[in-house]
Amino acid sequence: GSFGGMQALEYAVQAGSIKSPFAVDDADGRAAPLVRSVMPIACGAKHTAWQIAISEVQRQAIYADPKWNDGKPSMDDPPLAGLSVARQIGMVSYRTPQGYDSKFGRKMRDDTAPYGAKATWQVKSYLEYQGFKFLSRFDPITYVKLTEQMDTHDIGRGRGGLKCALSSIHIPAMVLGIDSDVLYPLYEQEELVELFPNGELNVIKSDAGHDGFLLEQDQVAAYIVDFLNAHD
């Protein structure tokens, strides 16, 4: 899903056809695609202006940290404050207004007044915790480079456009989307299915937004099992 879905699409385009240089021989000695099926989840055929904008805001949070040092940070004292804010921005884009309201509403951690910098909104504490927890798993340079790589995603680039890139990829393709995803909206998965000659769309029902592909494990697993059983 997400970045992994983009990689899956690239694998399919590069090695999902018998005309690919990666084609192999099957048990009968006939040409067969190296990639026999593909299941892109919660992604699109290219990174859109919307997704690039969200990535850029996160990068700007890191750049605004004085410790970024114009792209030459010290890894002994990296710009962790900026990275924390970048992660918090990401955590908003991964969910939905309904999901946040259902989980947090206007609840406070204590009885402080619900205004000003000292207001202890539960959602504020959640975001701060997510930002802090992320610091043990990522570094700022990796985060910047990873989002830049995601922004380059475009399977039609250098291949005559999206339609041309996928028109010869006849392997079975099951595309999974989430009905509430605001980061990679469902229309992008609908577009993918139209581009794949042998594509099918399944929709995860969730209020969790983009994170639905991680949280709705029973739905995701059921779709994957059915697809693999049908195309083993």
Give the residue among 36, 44, 122, 137 at the shortest CA–CA distance from 83.
137
List all residues 6 or more positions away from 31 whose beta carbon is below 8 Å from its beta carbon: 18, 23, 24, 25
- Asked if 110 contacts 120 with a C-beta cutoff of 8 angstroms, the reply is yes
**What is the rounded distance in angstroms from the CA atom of residue 224 to the CA atom of residue 227?**
5
Q: Is the dihedral angle over the CA atoms 173, 177, 182, 183 positive or is it negative? A: negative
47 is catalytic: no
Give the residue among 150, 170, 168 at the shortest CA–CA distance from 160.
168
Catalytic residue among 17, 151, 180, 210: 210
Catalytic residue among 47, 84, 153, 181: 181
Retrieve residue 146's tokens.
Answer: 């990873």
232 is catalytic: no
Give the residue among 1, 7, 9, 3 at the shortest CA–CA distance from 196.
9
- Asked if 53 contacts 93 with a C-beta cutoff of 8 angstroms, the reply is no
Active centre residues (catalytic): 2, 181, 210
